[in-house]
Amino acid sequence: MKRSVLLYVALLALTVSAMPNVISVFAGQHSFYSGVGLNCVTCHSDVRNQLDLDNFVNSKHKGAALSYNYTTYLAIGGISYDQTAGNITVVGGTVWKWNGSVWKNNSNPLQYLNVSLDANSNGAIGSDEVCLLCHSRSLLGAETHAGSAFVSACDEDRCHGNRLYKYNDPDLLGIYGNVTAAGYNLSQDNIHQRYYLSMSNQTSTYRAVDVFGYTHGNVNNSYVSRGYYVCLGCHSDVSTAVTLILPETYDHGNIDEAKGRYQ
């Protein structure tokens, strides 16, 4: 075979091989993949650095994410849990019962569910797995074609409650329900109230989603309110620009220091 033919074949093969990359450079700079198996912290390494810290908030969220009873409760729209009877009542009144290994829908005996966020089945929740506890559309009953993740803020009804104490079934939230009433408690007479109420009357950049068909109390117009910023202020790393104005100092060891400071 002539050298020119070989060069032509090689050039053609190189062109075919490189074309997708060339097109992507000029047409968008991204390659898109299915949501299955995506690792959130690949892009959000700053969040992972926070989630890797061994602290109270992280351990509680990872513990909740490891409990398939809790994650299943969220996924099927639970509004009350009777631990003694082993029953979960869900939105609409349907009851699911624990049969010893999985949750079974009493109204549809063929429907079983046991939702686990432990993707690698190692018996622990890593920083790349806990994200879905708060940001999974399917887990929180908002599954759409628009993507796999959405914003579920700290004062969203199903987890921590909101200042309006608004939920269609009071069995899930009560104002004396410890952490589940966090938003309500913040809105009462305490040092955080003024800031929390101010933020709750402002919209964030995140569109609200009607979880299981309910409009939740932290919705402001068609967006999630900024009330959850108060939670983030104490429970995450927050960068702030602060100018400190130092008070006048008094040199207690200098006998010549001007007198009269305490008179």
DSSP secondary structure string for all residues of 20-82: HHHHHHHHTS-----STT--GGGT-HHHHHHHTS--HHHHHHHHHHH-HHHHHHHHTTEEEEE
Determine the average pLDDT of the residues in 54-69: 91
3 state SS for 211-258: ECCECCCCEECCEEECCCHHHHHHHCCCCCCCCCCCCCCCCCCCCCCC
Domain residue ranges of the chain, discontinuous segments joined by + = 40-150, 153-241
Predicted local confidence at residue 130, as pLDDT: 92
Predicted local confidence at residue 91, as pLDDT: 81
User: Tokens 């074309």, residue?
Assistant: 19
**77 or 16: which carries more pLDDT confidence?**
77
**60 or 34: which carries more pLDDT confidence?**
60
Does residue 164 have a pLDDT over 90? no
Determine the average pLDDT of the residues in 191-211: 91
Does residue 213 have a pLDDT over 60? yes
Determine the average pLDDT of the residues in 54-81: 90
- The rounded percent of the chain whose pLDDT value lies above 70 is 78
3-class state of residue 93 by DSSP: coil
9 Cβ contact partners less than 8 Å away, ≥ 6 residues apart: none
Does residue 100 have a pLDDT over 70? yes
pLDDT band at residue 27 under the 50/70/90 scheme: low
Kindly report the average pLDDT of the chain as a whole number: 81
User: Tokens 């602060």, residue?
Assistant: 242
**Residue 230 CB neighbours (<10 A):** 23
pTM score, whole prediction? 0.72
pLDDT band at residue 96 under the 50/70/90 scheme: very high
Predicted local confidence at residue 135, as pLDDT: 87
